[in-house]
A and B are shown apart, each in its own frame.
Chain A
Amino acid sequence: MRRPVPMYPFTLGAMVLRISASLARALWEHSEKEHPIEACGVIAGLAADRAPTRHIPMENSAYSPTFYEFESKALLALYRELDDRDEVPVVIYHSHTSTEAYPSRTDIAYAGEPEAHYVLLSTREEIASRSELRSFRIVDGVVTEEPVEIIGD
C-alpha cells in the first residue's frame, strides 16, 4: 500500500518543451540508427534554467524493440557527471519502433523523474519519416502532453 506523496513542489516549469532543431535532429538520427531496437538517452541542461543543451545518447542495455533501460552503472555515472556539472536530465527520450510516440503502461510505471520532459519518437514504418516527436510530463502515474517548440538551430 502506497501512502500519498507528501506535498513538496517539484520544479515543473513551463509546460512546453523548447528544443533546438539540431538537438531534435540528433534524437532522430540516434533513433533511426538504433532502429529496430529502441534508442534512449537524455538531453542535459543546467539545473538553474532547465534548458536542454547537451545530448547524451545512452546504450539500451535491453537491446530490445519493445523495452529500453539505461545500464545501471552507466546510469550512476551519468548522474554523477550531471551532478558535477550542475546539470539535470532535462529531457529523457526513447523511441518506439512499431507503435506511436505515446507513453506505454511500462513507460508510466518506470517514469522516475517528475521534473523531466519525457520525449518519445516513433520510427514505425507506417508514418512519414521524422513525423512523430512528442513530449510528456509523467508525474505520479499521470501523463500530460505538452507542445514541442523547435527553436533556431
Chain B
Amino acid sequence: MSSSGIEVRIPTILRPFTAGAKIVTGEGATLRDLIADLGKQFTGLEERIMENGALLRFINVYVNDEDVRFIGGLDLALNAGDKVTILPAVAGGASK
C-alpha cells in the first residue's frame, strides 16, 4: 500500500512552522506516521498537534472531510491521494 503524497492543509496558527505554507505534503501508512513525518519536515509542528501520543483536544484533524476522532484516530490507515485538513477547534466559554 502506497501512502506517499498526502496533501495536508495547515491552519493559520501553525503556518509559522511551515514557513507560511498553507498546503504541505507528507507520507505515512497511518495518521500517526504522517504527523511524525510532518514533524521531521517542520520542526516543532508535531508538538502543536499531539501530546503524549494523543491528538491535542483543541486540534481537529480531518481525513477526506471526516473528523478522525470518529473514524479511527491516529491509527487510521492512509492511502495515497487522501486529503488531510488540520483546524484549530473554535471553542471556549466562561468555565474556569
- Residue positions of A touching B, CB distance < 8 A: 1-3, 5-8, 10, 38, 40, 42, 58, 62, 64-70, 72-73, 75-76, 79, 89, 92, 94, 96-99, 103-107, 109-115
Contact = CB atoms under 8 A, between A and B. Distances in A.
A94 B94 CA distance: 10
A38 B93 contact: yes
Contacts, number: 113
Nearest to A4: B44
Contacts of B11: 112
B54 interface: no
Contact of B16 (A6, A99, A112): A6
8 contacts: A40-B90, A62-B93, A64-B95, A103-B92, A106-B96, A110-B90, A113-B13, A114-B12
Contacts of B89: 69-70, 72, 75, 110, 112
A70 to B, nearest CB: 4
Given A2-B48, A10-B12, A104 B60 contact: no
B94 A99 contact: yes
Contacts of A109: 58, 92
Contact of A7 (B12, B16, B48, B69): B16
Given A62-B93, A67-B95, A113-B90, 13 more contacts: A5-B44, A6-B16, A6-B17, A66-B95, A75-B87, A76-B85, A79-B85, A98-B94, A104-B92, A104-B95, A112-B87, A112-B90, A113-B88
Contacts of B44: 2-3, 5-6
